[in-house]
Structure 1
Amino acid sequence: MAFPVPRPQIPRLPTRRIREIPTGQRAVRAARFNVDGNYCLTCGSDKSLKLWNPHRGTLLKTYCGHGYEVLDAAGSCDNSQICSCGADKTVILWDVATGKLVRKFRGHGGKVNCVQFNEESTVIVSGSIDTSIRCWDCRSRTSEPIQILDEAKDGVSSVQVSDHEILSGSVDGRIRRYDLRMGQVFVDFIGSPISSVCWSRDGQCSLSSSLDFTLRLLDKETGELLGDYTGHKNTEYKLDCCFNESDTHVVSGSEDGLVYFWDLVKGSLAVTLPVGKGVVQSVSYHPTQSCLLTATQGVVQLWGDETYEVDTQSAL
């Protein structure tokens, strides 16, 4: 006797505001969960980088070393180090526990918009307004980049890194995927300046956000357009986009103070979150839970679904 296949559960979305954190950083340029979602990083226009336990709303450490505003940051795979970048044209490697600056990398000719570790956290990848992507060896004593990717014709706004690939978005309206094993670059032309790119959780698709207020889902291998998502406002600012933890929805900030969720397959708008009156510039999804960070002006908010409970065991 065959039993019927159980119907899949409807995904729970983080529609409940759990906590609001005034960061004291004037404008928060980016809010990022770490690799396991226990803490987050916020980058501010006050030149500081801050480490938080967002589930408790507690500040753990403040890192100061940039000369101008900090624009992006990322945590290493073992949570022992942080990389950050800013408008001072530098990339900085930090020790999480001590709060000390480990190394400062210089070489970009303009402000550095985005930064990521590779999978082993041995290399930092940064993208700049100077149209280049630079790779920095964390273990080397030299501050020279080990590789420069300069195919972009305008500023690089966003980078994402997998085990052997770099995905980038540029103001020249193109998404570039660098296959480091094959030594090849694949280009998809969007047309409108791109502000954010990211991989799907399964690594088969890429999502891009552009200034024509459209998110586009592309097949990684063929570049085929699988879906587009509209309804939010994005004509001026660099806004983050991402997938939820189960790849069922795509998420974007908006210039109208809302966060938008679309059904990935249907393309329909699922829900909007009323974050605030300012631009929602940064969003970051928890790697395994229905939990979202949003940043607008100087405030970071933590959102969860109806089953969310504060993790009192989360620690640095």
Structure 2
Amino acid sequence: MLPRPRPAPPELPRRRVRSLQCGQGAVRAARFNADGNYCLTCGSDKSLKLWNPHRGTALRTYQGHGYEVLDAAGSFDNSHLCSCGADKTVALWDVATGQVIRKYRGHAGKVNCVQFNEEATIILSGSIDCTVRCWDCRSRRPDPVQVLDEAKDGVSSLKVSDHEILTGSVDGRVRRYDLRAGQLYCDFIGSPITSVCFSKDGQSALAASLDSTLRLLDKETGELLGEYRGHRSSAYRLDCVLSERDTHVGCASEDGHVYLWDLVEGSLSLRLPVGTGVVQSLAFHPTLPCLLAACEGSVQLWREESFQPDEGDGNG
């Protein structure tokens, strides 16, 4: 048998190919949808916008929150959106009509983060009121089906897999709820957590905190696998990400840059100059070396250097 060819080395998004002027005030979050063809932006002007970022076109605006929108997510089939904001509410939207299907009220403070479960039957929301609340999308039940109240301070970030919930809190702890086993695992970082995410292989978790450090943790044992420094994070809730092949970790920074480190070596691989203000949000495409970075009122799309824009297709 012939040996298999070596996989090509990972490419990094070094080239800015789009800049979306969102017209939403300060952009609080930018998120790819499930397949990466579209993205959502959340604004301080109380609006959500759906974009084709590859073509630079806005497709729809969603209005319905009373205060600024802080986070949003799309369902697996792209038919629904969920969003949350400083008005203490969580909203479920119909993508096609732009209408609010339902609003969920119950949090005692602003809601920082929101996610669907895999089947988009449950919305999970994390708030400064120290709770994660689980809302049933299929019923008209006004109260949550479950409340996770183990955090001792505000919940800043959450991610959901097929059977796990990962949360980061201002109390300096990363919590992982294993729904199959009915177990809670907690890792103490010490500094307030601003963002958490799972690795694509499901073996580890990445956490960003206000001591300007990213930490990669073994999901099962809590062992510290790597630390990444060089960016600035001391006051704002900034996103951390893993690249589409788990080869690099990335973080937004208060100095106007995005930083990407080699996951294994821990060395700084890339420092992208996004703007002069704080880069508040970051999102990596699910399958491509493609990055969204939100700074002040705009969102930038970054691609690999070999990428050639083509206005005639969806990736242009």
Shorter-normalised TM range: over 0.9
**Take 1:137 and 1:204, find their aligned partners in 2: how far apart are those partners?**
28
Supply the AA of the counterpart residue of 2:63. C
Map 1:119-130 → 2, pairs under 5 A: 119-130=118-129
CA deviation after TM superposition for structure 1 residue 183, in Å: 1.5
**Structural mapping, 1:95-134, within 5 Å:** 95-134=94-133
Q: 1:174 — aligned with what?
A: 173
Deviations, residues 189-218 of structure 1 (Å, cap 9, x unaligned): 000000000000111110000000000000
RMSD: 1.3
Structure-1 separation of matches of 2:83 and 2:89: 8
Spell out, residue by residue over 1:56-91, the C-alpha distance to the aligned partner (whole angstroms, 9 max, x if none).
110100000000000000000000000000000000
Moved more, 55-64 or 7-16: 7-16
| Equivalent position amino acid for 1:259 in 2 | V
| Structure 2 counterpart of 1:279 | 278
Query: Counterparts of 1:21 and 1:210 in 2: how far apart (Å)?
Result: 28
- Structure-2 residue corresponding to 1:85: 84
Deviation at 1:245, TM superposition (A): 0.5
Task: Give matches, 1:188-203, under 5 Å.
Answer: 188-203=187-202
Any conservation in 2 of the 1:280–1:296 contact (CA below 8 Å)?
yes
Deviation at 1:184, TM superposition (A): 1.3
Q: Which residue is 1:252 aligned to?
A: 251
Find the aligned partners of 1:301 and 1:220 in 2 and give their Cα distance. 32
The equivalent residue for 1:28 is 27
User: d(CA) in 1 for partners of 2:4 and 2:99?
Assistant: 54
3-state secondary structure, aligned to 2:109? coil
Aligned partners of 2:309 and 2:95: how far apart in 1?
A: 23
**Alignment-mate amino acid for residue 49 of structure 1:** L
Look up the equivalent residue of 1:247 and give its one-letter code: D
Output one character per residue of 1:30-72: Cα deviation in whole Å (capped at 9) or x when no partner. 0000000100000000000000000111010000000000000
Tell me the secondary structure at the aligned position of residue 287 of structure 2: coil
Q: Is 1:135–2:105 an aligned residue pair?
A: no
The CA distance in 2 between the partners of 1:172 and 1:280, in whole Å, is: 23
Correspondence for 1:57: 56
- In 2, Cα distance between equivalents of 1:4 and 1:140: 54
Deviation at residue 153 of structure 1 after TM alignment: 0.1
Query: For 1:4-19, what aligned pairs fall within 5 Å after superposition?
Result: 6-19=5-18
Instruction: Tell me which residue corresponds to 1:314.
Output: 314
- Report the Cα distance in structure 1 between the residues aligned to 2:58 and 2:5, rounded to whole angstroms: 43
Q: Aligned to 1:84, what secondary structure does the other structure show? A: strand
The aligned length equals 314
Retained in 2: the 8 A contact 1:86–1:113? yes
Cα distance between partner residues in 2 of 1:122 and 1:142: 13
Q: Taking structure 1 as the reference length, what is the TM-score of the superposition?
A: 0.97
**Counterpart-to-counterpart distance in 2, 1:5 and 1:213:** 41
Between the aligned partners of 1:39 and 1:309, the Cα distance in structure 2 is 19
Structure 2: how far apart are the matches of 1:34 and 1:141?
25
Q: Which runs of 5+ in 2 are unaligned?
A: none
Residue in structure 2 matched with residue 144 of structure 1 by the alignment: 143
Per-residue displacement from partner, 1:242-265 (whole Å, max 9, x unpaired)? 001000000110000000010000
Q: 1:56·1:310 contact (CA, 8 Å) conserved in 2?
A: no
- Distance (Å, rounded) in 2 between the aligned partners of 1:231 and 1:243: 17
Q: Is the 8 A contact 1:157 1:194 kept in 2?
A: yes
State the partner residue of 1:41: 40
* Structure 2 Cα separation of the partners of residues 310 and 138 of structure 1: 39
Letter in 1 for 2:12: L
SS at match of 2:222: coil
Q: In the aligned structure 1, how far is the partner of 2:235 from the partner of 2:198? A: 23
Q: Which amino acid aligns with 1:314?
A: G
Task: In structure 1, list runs of 5 or more residues that go unmatched.
Answer: none
SS of 1:187 mapped into structure 2: strand
